[in-house]
Structure 1
Amino acid sequence: MSASPVRVAIVGGGIGGLAAAAFLHRAGIPSVVYEQAPELREVGAGLVLAPNAVRLLRRLGAMDRLTEHAVPLEVGWEFRRWEDGRVLSAEDLVGACERLYGERTYTVHRADLLDAISSAVPSGAVRLGRRCTSVTVRADRAVVAFADGTSAEADVVIGADGVHSTVRGAVTTPTPATSSGICAFRALVPAEHAPAFARRRAQTLWLGPDHHLVHYPIRGGAVVNLVAIAPAGDGTAESWSATATVAEFLAEFADWDPRLRELIQAAGTPGRWALLDRRPLERWSHGPLTLLGDAAHPMFPFFAQGAAQSIEDAAVLARCIAQDPQAPVDALRRYESLRIARTARLQEVSHARAHVNHLPDGPEQEARDAALADADPLVANGWIYAYDAEAEVSAASV
């Protein structure tokens, strides 16, 4: 525990920002979260929580709240062929995750994850309706200005304000985003309207030419979450609030297995937004400012690690500040050095996966499908799931 008077301001009250506040609180360091929305809520739908994130949430004491609604997966990486649903490969996760990594893999609605993390944040630590408009550095401190004309001074400012981060502009000059040529559809289907194959405690990935679709249950199995990747149309926005129609969603999968089309047909209004391409940043920190989560390393969703990496960032950042609260600038440099290579690697492998998933039918696709049948992704991705973010900080300090 730290008795330091270091003042920490967190811009953004999403998963990463609240996780930072929770881990700082656990380390004895108070912080204030400034969130632009009038209430705490996560837009979007479901996500997968792998062991590398779950072990950190357990240390926060958030798992009891989380498991009220989270679904422990029994089957993962169930790859199916687009036209007939033939199973190409599947991984039995029952017992395997815990045996290898000490934790299970869960699926969860983003709002339920946010609620669980919020339970570890002290009351009064979050200020709502505070939209950050600029951040300036004065000597060794920073001043955050808000749209309502108020401001806050802090020894450390953490930019957890997402892919369109305002704080990032005060830290570095990022390269402009470029079009990836693909977009994401997201939708929710009530379980009672979903085909039986989609209600199982399984993470299923349908692969086809230029497209793929993932589905799994969330909300205790009451809802099926859909995420589909397709070619981007003109004018598709990079926004969680952008929507499409079920007809547009269906049109992308017109010739696919009828059972999958039945699942899409039962969806509510789907979201649809562009996936823009961003290269890894060369630095995340500048003096008393640093970045966390999507503000630092936005990544394609193909390894299901976006939220997990935000949680890892938060755990490492809190440890670094707690170890040296009288020298926060040094702590931020250490945080960046511990995190930047890992997150850049995940950005890169996620980017490369789009090509593999979307191969047209032919020799390359046949070779991919044969490789999937022989693969053990739970073991192959051990570099992701076995990683203990807090242990890495301790090892680096020795």
Structure 2
Amino acid sequence: MTAVRERAAYANLLLPVELKRARLDTRDAALATELTYGTLRAQGLLDRIIAEAAGRPVEDVDPPVLDLVRLGAYQLLFTRIGAHAAVDTSVEAARTLGLGRAGAFVNAVLRKVSAQDLDGWVAVLRKDVADPVARLAVGTAHPEWIARAFAESLGADAAELPALLAADDARPKVHLAALPGAITAEELALVTDGTEGRMSPYAVHLESGDPGTLDAVRDRLATVQDEGSQIVAVAASRAPLVGEDGGRWLDLCAGPGGKAVMMGALAEIEGATVTGVEVSEHRADLVREATRDLPVTVHTADGRDPGLEPGFDRVLLDAPCSGLGALRRRPEARWRKTAADIPGLVVLQRELLESALRLVRPGGVVLYATCSPHLSETVSMIREADRRDDVELLDVRGILEGIDGVSTEGLGDGPWVQLWPHRHGTDAMFMAVLRRRGGDPTPPPRED
């Protein structure tokens, strides 16, 4: 938690490394994972409770001490750990860390926190909150602006907001992707004791565990990838073209490589090749490593002007976004993001989409995706692009319906698709398909 606070580290990347370094047994590692992810996910709610109990803003508490109080409060309110044990271990940790007289403060605040259960504290915090969305945000550990953005995206289905926020707060299952051509989802489920997904024909779900220890993952037969991300790559490979597929596919924002791996495996089956573009050299290297056995070539370049020859048959644009759709997998992210981040991202997304439409051939397709349901990053972006004379908007639902093993239940009215954790068990991925108008229906055959 200190690294997350001081260095803006990502808990889902750092914690597995620290657990291995500590050599904890399975039970202790599971507890450490629950306490770390849970405390980070609930941080905003915990801070409001701590401020009430301490009688001062959390900004006035020394950060290392606040970390301990948050951990203790999480144990008291969200776990079955006894109050005495939660308080005593927190006080002892303050002494062990050399935090001086902070132990007395930790003890006093946590004893006040323990005087009520979570429902009691939520009732206190909601006492003067009349707005229904704000009340839901308080009780589900979401910043109000994010809860409101979710409600706006749900639109006529806004009654589902409580279920969405609850699903967004729950610990997600581990999602694996069976590498096409290497192993089937059925086979992967058998060797991992998992269950097959319903959105992607390659998805397998595990209740928990470290997927890095699985033979199928170590042997590069499978990767760790949310089912929503899998279906984005699959849809990009299946969207209908005008004319034959010449085999030039492009992943315009390829880092860190999850969708590039899926695209590369599908391209290998189809006899196509994938060009990957990533602006960060470090992330480009991650893509190269992840796709090293696949027909994928990676360029370190800015996707807005990558210097590539136009004429791609398929372009996947998984645009940089706010990441609001993956908050359940990145527990600290909801408290780092602000509404002020959105306008700058929208400008970048628009520029990248313009680049994608320049690079795709007439008759080719661009699949635009974001791991965010925010309307500015999704529907508004696509409606703007659809006003172009040289673009037609395809119905993603029809594309998915043509894929064996894909459930299209709850996909909405189209033509775009917004996935939701409470409906589909995936991250809140958005996808839309744009096709360039025109195109020779009989392009030259691809080169072998």
Relative to the length of structure 2, the TM-score reads 0.24
Higher relative contact order (CA 8 A, sep 6+): 1
The structure with more helix, counted as a fraction of residues: 2
Higher Rg of the two aligned structures: 2
